[in-house]
Amino acid sequence: MMNGYKNDYGLEKKFFEFTDMRELMEHSAKRYKDHVAFITKTKRAPEPEYKNTTYSEMFREMGYLGTALVNRGLKGAAVAVVGENSYQWVLADMAIACGTGIVVPLDKALQKDELLSCFRRSHAKAVFYDKKHTKMLTEIFEEGSTELEQAFAMDGAEVITPDIPAESMPGEAASGPKTRFCPVEWLLQEGKEAVGAGDRSYLDAEIDRDKMSYLLFTSGTTERSKAVMLSHANLMSCNYGMNCEELFFPDDVDMMILPLHHIYGFMGLVTFLSQGLTTCFTDGLKYIAKNMQEYHVSVMMSVPLLLENMYKKICKGIEKQGKTRQVAAAMKVCNAADKAGINLRKIAFKKIIDEMGGRMRFFINGAAALDPVVQEGLNSLGILTVQGYGLTETSPTIASETYRYIRKGSCGHVMPNVEARIDDPDEDGIGELVVRGNNVMLGYYDDPEATEEVMEDGWFHTGDLAYFDKDRYLFITGRKKNVIVMKNGKNVFPEEIENLINFLPYVSESMVFTQSRGSDYVLWVKVVCDQEYLREHALSEGDIKAKFESDLDAINETMPAYKMVKRFFISDRPTIKTTTMKTKRREEIKQIEEELEERGLKE
């Protein structure tokens, strides 16, 4: 028993692999017909107002929107979606992929030149956008350097009016002419009228599950990023694996905090939709705790930085209330009760769970490794917390812990429909992880050479170094490209050291890097402190340097000599990150070089 769950729910007997995304959504629309699929906050103040969308309503609106897009000449075209997470974002994505053309989800944080590059490389003909992108897209249309012809405003965004010939498309809608620039609501009305008149061009459209339907740009600067081609078959394979392993219930409420343009967040949502969960959206990272209470969230997909900060706040609250010993004693009692098959954690730690909305039961962590101490702590509080692993190229899930399989520091077991092996392992069994399965991408768009570099006889080379233990639990030791090879040939995995440093209560994040000295490299670390912690404890810069120096000595004592960090500096500049909160190491090194120069610390 883990956190009160049975040993085996026989999930593989309850689910089947859907042919494509449309079949998945149609199945949910019938099975969970009147269940709420999405809660949308339509007004925040003075009193919040909400709109609920059921599964049957969503599937019907997919049909309307898709029909309008086909009638606007976008059949088979690439259509981009850029903006904050929202129901209309999901609706646009689904409508494009399920009978219109190819969906191109774009990072909302991209700068204008990066967006331009994505539009050009994908040959996008239209774009759905939100309020924050109105001005930028107006400029892009006026410049006329892309193949974009139409733009659709989501979530009340202003309709763009670029200074170009206002050429209208043929036909009329009840709400006005079919201009190339209009709100999503116009499209829904157009589609509703067309479907009502018997138009089934979209509803009956054939979907080739093996062809590219999704084009995703990987993290990094746009010029260096790769465009990953995924099919319905890829995504449905991943969905089936997740349904067979991770435990969800139709009365669960999940909150989307991860960007939906990223495959990790999107496929989490697809899994929730396939099982009838209700999805809500956070108002922003600083409102997560408040939103968890507001919506009574029970499930959340997250990244290490968010979960680690959350756990630190829990520990801080326990310490402030003087209940550290009381909580430790309660955990011992709960551990003993577990052995007897009795779950006391929900009772023992009810106050902590209540602060999260009262129903929080399941965290899934991905994008990077979660500190094992944090994971163990959350599980001890009665919140099932698992580590997953995957890449955009694998749709994304390769392996994951589950309610059945948890092992400290691991990524759990490989998904049941994925094969994996270690390529060229060293004496410790560590080598590159190579995988094969229907979840593996079609390739990189317009880049056969890059595809050939990572694909070999159907096997995908992940670029991650890993090993399996005797029970086939997968352990990722670091990115192959991030490994620091010392002059003596020893390998240092920076992530391993960073995880230890990041758990210090006053550390927000860190990054290990090297500087040359003589005939060898010296390991350094940049440390970004938690400013709130410093204020609360009235710590000066000198205080924190002395404290970290002492803590670093303690960490180094646990390391072999070649892994010891010899130099450090405290910084007030956060590392440069992707939207899934992973550090862009190549770009961050440039920032570090500037900081070292400014501080006179260059070796």
The structure tokens 């929107």 sit at 65
Domain carrying residue 513: 488-599
Based on the fold, state whether residues 436 and 528 are members of the same structural domain: no
Q: Band the pLDDT of 178: cuts 50, 70, 90.
A: low
Based on the fold, state whether residues 189 and 287 are members of the same structural domain: no
432-445 mean pLDDT: 97
Based on the fold, state whether residues 455 and 542 are members of the same structural domain: no
Strand 520-529 relative to strand 567-571: parallel, antiparallel, unpaired?
A: parallel
Chain Cα centroid distance, residue 192: 33
Based on the fold, state whether residues 526 and 383 are members of the same structural domain: no
In this predicted structure, which of 228-242, 389-403, 404-418, 478-492 has the lowest mean pLDDT?
478-492
DSSP annotation string for 395-426: SSEEEE--SS---TT---EEPTTEEEEEES--
Please provide the size of the chain in residues: 603
Give the whole-angstrom CA distance, residue 190 versus residue 173: 5
Q: Decide if 122 is inside a domain.
A: yes
In angstroms and rounded to an integer, the radius of gyration of the C-alpha atoms of the chain is 25
pLDDT digits (tens, 9 = 90+) for 251-285: 999 999 999 999 999 999 999 999 999 999 999 98
Question: For residue 374, what is the domain's CATH number?
Answer: 3.40.50.12780
148-154 mean pLDDT: 97
Predicted pLDDT at 131: 96
Based on the fold, state whether residues 72 and 190 are members of the same structural domain: yes
Tell me: pLDDT of 148 over 90.
yes
Tell me: pLDDT of 171 over 60.
no
Structural domain count, the chain: 3
Domain boundary among 452, 479, 506: 479
Based on the fold, state whether residues 405 and 548 are members of the same structural domain: no
Give the whole-angstrom CA distance, residue 101 versus residue 597: 50
DSSP annotation string for 52-75: EEEHHHHHHHHHHHHHHHIIIIIT
Q: Do 258 and 301 meet the contact criterion of CB atoms below 8 Å apart? A: yes
Predicted pLDDT at 221: 41
Give the whole-angstrom CA distance, residue 141 versus residue 124: 12
Q: Decide if 19 is inside a domain.
A: no
Predicted pLDDT at 557: 92
Tell me: pLDDT of 3 over 80.
no
Give the whole-angstrom CA distance, residue 217 versus residue 122: 10
| Most confidently predicted of 25-34, 159-168, 308-317, 587-596 | 25-34
Based on the fold, state whether residues 82 and 199 are members of the same structural domain: yes
Q: Do 353 and 382 meet the contact criterion of CB atoms below 8 Å apart? A: yes
Domain boundary among 172, 207, 242: 207
Give the whole-angstrom CA distance, residue 391 versus residue 201: 35
In this predicted structure, which of 122-126, 304-308, 551-555 has the lowest mean pLDDT?
304-308
Give the whole-angstrom CA distance, residue 302 versus residue 389: 12
Tell me: pLDDT of 74 over 80.
yes
Give the whole-angstrom CA distance, residue 285 versus residue 303: 12
Question: For residue 501, what is the domain's CATH number?
Answer: 3.30.300.30
Question: For residue 94, what is the domain's CATH number?
Answer: 3.40.50.980
Residues 162-201: b if buried by 16+ CB within 10 A, e if exposed: beeeeeeeeeebeeeebbbbbbbebbbbbbbbbbeeebee
Based on the fold, state whether residues 330 and 467 are members of the same structural domain: yes
pLDDT digits (tens, 9 = 90+) for 235-256: 999 999 999 999 999 999 999 9
Q: Decide if 2 is inside a domain.
A: no
DSSP-based three-state secondary structure for 352: helix
Q: Decide if 260 is inside a domain.
A: no
Give the whole-angstrom CA distance, residue 176 versus residue 187: 11
pLDDT digits (tens, 9 = 90+) for 544-559: 999 999 999 999 999 8
Q: Decide if 149 is inside a domain.
A: yes
Predicted pLDDT at 6: 76
Neighbour count for residue 247 (Cβ, 10 Å): 20
Tell me: pLDDT of 222 over 70.
no
pTM of the full predicted structure?
0.85
Tell me: pLDDT of 169 over 70.
no
Q: Decide if 42 is inside a domain.
A: no
Q: Band the pLDDT of 225: cuts 50, 70, 90.
A: confident
Domain boundary among 456, 479, 502: 479
Give the whole-angstrom CA distance, residue 294 versus residue 357: 7
Based on the fold, state whether residues 121 and 202 are members of the same structural domain: yes
Q: Decide if 128 is inside a domain.
A: yes
pLDDT digits (tens, 9 = 90+) for 8-33: 889 999 999 999 999 999 999 999 99
Q: Do 145 and 113 meet the contact criterion of CB atoms below 8 Å apart? A: no
Based on the fold, state whether residues 331 and 454 are members of the same structural domain: yes
What is the rounded average pLDDT for all residues in the chain? 91
Give the whole-angstrom CA distance, residue 367 versus residue 349: 28
560-578 mean pLDDT: 91
414-440 mean pLDDT: 95
Structure tokens belonging to residue 259: 């960007």
326-347 mean pLDDT: 89
pLDDT digits (tens, 9 = 90+) for 446-466: 999 999 999 999 999 999 999
Predicted pLDDT at 483: 81
Q: Band the pLDDT of 478: cuts 50, 70, 90.
A: confident
In this predicted structure, which of 125-129, 345-349, 481-485, 566-570 has the lowest mean pLDDT?
481-485
Q: Decide if 330 is inside a domain.
A: yes
Based on the fold, state whether residues 428 and 561 are members of the same structural domain: no
Based on the fold, state whether residues 439 and 570 are members of the same structural domain: no
